[in-house]
Structure 1
Amino acid sequence: MTPCQQKSCLTIHRPSFPMTEKTKSWLTIACIWLLLLVLALIRPLSLPDEGRYADIGRWMFISDDWLVPRLNGIPFFHKPPLLYWLQAEVFHLAGVHVWTARLVTAVHALIMLTGVYLGVRRILGEITARKVSLVLGTSVGYLVGGQYINHDFLVATWITVAIGLFAVAMKDDDKPDVFWARLGFLACGLGVLSKGLIGIVLPGMVMLTWVILMGKTRQLIHFPWLSGLLICGLTTLPWMLQVEAQFSGFLDYFIIGHHFSRFSGSQFNNHQDWWFYPGVIGIFMFPWVLFIAWRVAQQIFKGKVLRGGLAALRLNPWTSLPWIWLGVILLFFSLPNSKLIGYILPVIPAVAILAVQNWDALMGHKKSANAWFWGVCGFSLALATGANFLARYNSMKDHSQDVAQTLTCLSNPEDKVYVFGEYPFDLPFLAQRSQALIVIENWDEVRKNSGDNWRRVFFEGADFDHTAGQVLQSPEVLKQSSPEVRWLVTPAQLSHPNMKDGWQVAFKGHAWWLWRSGPALAQITTPEAQRCGLTSDIKP
């Protein structure tokens, strides 16, 4: 008997899955994005930004008004609507939750990471592209900013995509590729819809500087200016013109007030010194910035930085582009007095490219370079994860989750809810209120003395829609007796005098107190109190 007769000779052929370099890169991108989605699950809404922008998207969803972004029912014209449009659609498909509110930013993070990978791969090759994806994708700036609900990461994504598309369009020395150039103009339009004019101004400044320094100005003659600007205009102007037609003065408020005045004025908050953004970049891209600084210091010491001048820059335009990208945007945002951390996010892809280029120059010849590279990526990833948990800890200090849960449990949808002292930006979103909160302030005095704060946002928006502005009321309404149940939310740290006129504490939350007026609190039954977790906090 032959060996094949003694035991089975059946051969099982397993399908092979070729692990090509491209496959490794796509798996890397997928793993990074899945990690970002997981990190987005562990934080409550950070205030005020995430609470504000999540609820504007929710309000657009429940009101079905896709033209006018509204905060608490009041027009909010500080920012364009792309974030809210996409959020409203996500809420329609997947429900209203903190995680779904973050999904729009997270998808833009995926677009940025994929776009950087494809652009670098086309110009510098597969291995470099995957390294850049790893450096960018494991950074603090990417893993925290890429799931934070505001407009900064959206516009950073479209600025990055636009610069990449324009660079690919001008890759050769002859005429530009009009297809990629037109897509670049479309990305600029989406950038404008994300956060305003910087969506086209910053890619334009970066590319114009690069084209002039690289001696590619002849390509500008053949650039598809007419069709490109038409694409950009058709993307952005319909919304602006329609809002202006309905709310006279919108364009002046939106463009002059929140673009030029914010850039050149000194009346806005968050004044910072010139070194603020270099420090933020250091945090966002640590420890990779150390290798860039190390390499630059080497070149300065050897006298190679200025040697050759412009001719040296033109020898390698793809080394020059990320430096110009970083320098132009850093200078642009460093000029105004008002500086916010998220403004500088458009430069993190450029820093990632520079980090890989300088890493290869410093470490590429070493046998242990690959192990060290993965080690630094792991360290960066650990920092980003820690930063996410730190953000969670900070967000827990002032959230209104407990009060929102209590209000939802005890109140009816038609009950009036007042807020006084501060505005709990996450409360309407978490409590899923379909009616606007009534905001109590001495509004005549606020209009005279208010600085760049949330109160100004409300009364300036109310100037566009007086009907919606009726939710801004004076403290006198709290003194008026009413047979109906009314609720009041105040900060826990507010000095609380003995409330008269029937107001009594219903629940003392972590950062906010909930008050109740109307039928006696004793009418809340024990099962209701236990269901809401209020047994020890009810004050009959």
Structure 2
Amino acid sequence: MNPPASIRLLWAILLTVLLVRLGTLGLYPIMDTSEARYAEIARKMLVSNDWITPMFDHGVPFWGKPPLSFWLQALSMRLLGINEFASRFSSWLLHAASCLLIVQFAARERSLPVGLTAAIIYSTCALGFFASGAVLTDGALAFALLLAHLGLWRGLAHADRGWALLGFFGLGLGLLTKGPLALVLIALPAALWLALTGHWRRLLCLPWLPGIALMSAVALPWYWLAEQKTPGFLEYFIVGEHFSRYVISKWQGDLYGSAHAEPLAMIWVHLLGALVPWALFLPLLVKWRASLQGQREYFIFVLTWAISTPLFFTLSTNILWTYVLPALPAWALLLAEVICRKVRTSVITIVALALPVASCALLISGKVDDRPQNQKTVVALWKAQQAAAPGDLIYPGSRSYSAQFYSSGWARHTEQLPLSQDFYRVHRLGDQPLAPPTSASCALVGQANASDLYYCRVGPP
């Protein structure tokens, strides 16, 4: 029997959004700073064939994140080439897999329309749409925690041993993506659910010994190898990245960037922004109790899942909006429940296509390519000059990760310009002027993305 027209339409919307995002992955440059930084780390991993220690720079280990997302990006580059599409493909693949998990979970616990609508909301809210095609580590964490939450629910509510073990496997992936934070973000909603329902004895239903063994087998070998290869990693990663980063405003210990000082509870504002345009429907959740229909335990679980991540970061001032990504599947499930009851499918269609259509229009306009942070065109100008006048590509201001990515690692930043060889110097919008050596004669050879490219000859012509 053919599915109802509304089901076919929801499938069509979801597949359209996913395919549009897939088709646009390679249509705009890698963005500085975070996306380009992670893409360059993955590129270095591939070309160096070092799959243990991600490298921030030549000979400088990157201790800020475990390697799972870099492994996936580097493998994608090995298969598809070193380019924008390959760099972002693993994020899209993880997002598509997450959508299938959401549909399967909600179809079993609620209904197929709720599952499809939740997957659509997750794919077309601002952060979900952005992260599904961005070179970030948050997408891998969101997938790992989605797997962990679904396994936890099936284990606690249905004593499903297989799904519970899959949840422990997800925690192992989380440890390989962001570290112990994954354990905190699953323990908090689990504790809240158990406290609110009083089902503490259900913890005995979970396969603790084989589950912990599986989680450890997935994650711990890399941690041991990483510490052996670069001693000091565990102290920086466990103490610095998992304590100092979140409790110390403007933390000065970050080796790879700068701390982000935000007001307390700003994470909730980020959550609202992440849910745009679906945040408009949040008032419908005020009457969410009317949808319980004997599913009180399920709704409490999804609600505690939804609030746990922003609750954990409420007192943190060093945050980014991407931190709320692991909570978005739960918010999508809550919103889908009320939207399916109160909103017409035609309205769902219009809201769902708003961001994909706007993004395509932005790409067509060329405004994304014109961003000053993009250095793809500048690097292309430098490459075009090499045959006639070879020279290094120098960034005297802050580091440009996109320039490193597009130049295959040849671009470098320095506080002191070369004194004995010709070079190319890039001056970007906002850079502090840096005088060339007195013996250098510099001439402008190209301009792009609010950046000037100079060729500097050292010594007599």
Shorter-chain TM-score range: 0.7 to 0.9
| 1:286 lines up with 2:280 in the alignment | no
Q: Which residue is equivalent to 2:413?
A: 439
Equivalent-residue separation in structure 1 for 2:423 and 2:373 (angstroms): 23
Q: Deviations over 1:77-133 (max 9, x none)?
A: 111111111111111111110111011111111121111111111211212212212
**1:350 counterpart SS class:** helix
Q: Is the 8 A contact 1:139 1:384 kept in 2?
A: no
Q: Is the 8 A contact 1:94 1:100 kept in 2?
A: yes
Equivalent-residue separation in structure 1 for 2:391 and 2:240 (angstroms): 37
| 1:495 lines up with 2:433 in the alignment | yes
Q: Which residue is equivalent to 1:226?
A: 209
Q: Is the 8 A contact 1:47 1:395 kept in 2?
A: no
Match of 2:32 among 41, 44, 47: 47
State how 1:124-523 maps to structure 2 within 5 Å.
124-172=110-158, 176-268=159-251, 269-296=259-286, 316-361=296-341, 363=342, 369-379=344-354, 381-382=356-357, 393=368, 396-411=371-386, 416-433=392-409, 435=410, 437-441=411-415, 475=416, 478=418, 480-482=419-421, 485-493=422-430, 494-497=432-435, 499-510=437-448, 511-518=450-457
Equivalent-residue separation in structure 2 for 1:279 and 1:386 (angstroms): 27
Match of 2:52 among 67, 70, 81: 67
Equivalent residue letter for 1:357: E
Q: Is the 8 A contact 2:21 2:356 kept in 1?
A: no
Going from structure 1 to structure 2, the CA distance change for 1:258 and 1:394 (only over 3 Å counts) comes to farther
Q: Is the 8 A contact 1:505 1:513 kept in 2?
A: no
**1:170 counterpart SS class:** helix
- Report the RMSD for the aligned CA atoms in angstroms: 3.1
Equivalent-residue separation in structure 2 for 1:389 and 1:339 (angstroms): 32
**1:334 counterpart SS class:** coil
Q: When the two structures are superposed, what TM-score results if normalisation uses the length of structure 1?
A: 0.75
Deviation of residue 20 (structure 1)?
7.1
State how 1:45-124 maps to structure 2 within 5 Å.
45-73=30-58, 74-124=60-110
Q: Which residue is equivalent to 1:444?
A: none
Equivalent-residue separation in structure 2 for 1:417 and 1:47 (angstroms): 17
Deviation of residue 393 (structure 1)?
3.4
Going from structure 1 to structure 2, the CA distance change for 1:146 and 1:387 (only over 3 Å counts) comes to farther
Structure 1 range deviating more: 205-214 or 220-229: 205-214
Equivalent residue letter for 1:124: R
Equivalent residue letter for 2:351: V
Equivalent-residue separation in structure 2 for 1:211 and 1:352 (angstroms): 22
Structure 1 range deviating more: 507-516 or 43-52: 507-516
Going from structure 1 to structure 2, the CA distance change for 1:275 and 1:191 (only over 3 Å counts) comes to same
Going from structure 1 to structure 2, the CA distance change for 1:519 and 1:279 (only over 3 Å counts) comes to closer
Deviation of residue 222 (structure 1)?
2.9
Deviation of residue 181 (structure 1)?
0.7
Q: Is the 8 A contact 2:28 2:369 kept in 1?
A: no
Q: Which residue is equivalent to 2:255?
A: none
Equivalent residue letter for 1:163: H
**1:171 counterpart SS class:** helix
Larger Rg: 1
Q: Which residue is equivalent to 1:530?
A: none
Equivalent-residue separation in structure 2 for 1:162 and 1:71 (angstroms): 30
**1:488 counterpart SS class:** strand
Q: Is the 8 A contact 2:20 2:356 kept in 1?
A: no
Deviation of residue 386 (structure 1)?
6.6
Going from structure 1 to structure 2, the CA distance change for 1:521 and 1:128 (only over 3 Å counts) comes to farther
Equivalent residue letter for 1:421: G
Q: Deviations over 1:492-525 (max 9, x none)?
A: 5432546522241353433333343458998xxx
Segments of 5+ residues of structure 2 without an aligned counterpart are 252-258
Q: When the two structures are superposed, what TM-score results if normalisation uses the length of structure 2?
A: 0.87
Q: Is the 8 A contact 2:441 2:458 kept in 1?
A: no
Going from structure 1 to structure 2, the CA distance change for 1:285 and 1:396 (only over 3 Å counts) comes to same
Q: Is the 8 A contact 2:444 2:454 kept in 1?
A: yes
Equivalent-residue separation in structure 1 for 2:367 and 2:299 (angstroms): 38
Deviation of residue 343 (structure 1)?
0.6
**2:157 counterpart SS class:** coil
Deviation of residue 287 (structure 1)?
3.5
Q: Deviations over 1:165-202 (max 9, x none)?
A: 21122233xxx222111110111111121122222221
Q: Deviations over 1:123-164 (max 9, x none)?
A: 112122122122222222221121111111221121122111
**1:514 counterpart SS class:** strand
Deviation of residue 267 (structure 1)?
2.8
Segments of 5+ residues of structure 1 without an aligned counterpart are 1-16, 306-311, 442-474, 523-540
Equivalent residue letter for 1:514: L
Going from structure 1 to structure 2, the CA distance change for 1:503 and 1:217 (only over 3 Å counts) comes to farther
Deviation of residue 282 (structure 1)?
2.0
**1:267 counterpart SS class:** coil
Going from structure 1 to structure 2, the CA distance change for 1:395 and 1:61 (only over 3 Å counts) comes to farther
Q: Which residue is equivalent to 1:529?
A: none
> What is the percent sequence identity of the aligned residues?
22
**2:206 counterpart SS class:** coil
Equivalent-residue separation in structure 1 for 2:47 and 2:350 (angstroms): 47
**2:50 counterpart SS class:** coil
**2:425 counterpart SS class:** strand
**2:395 counterpart SS class:** strand
Q: Deviations over 1:17-52 (max 9, x none)?
A: 955788776555432211111232333222101111
Going from structure 1 to structure 2, the CA distance change for 1:391 and 1:266 (only over 3 Å counts) comes to farther
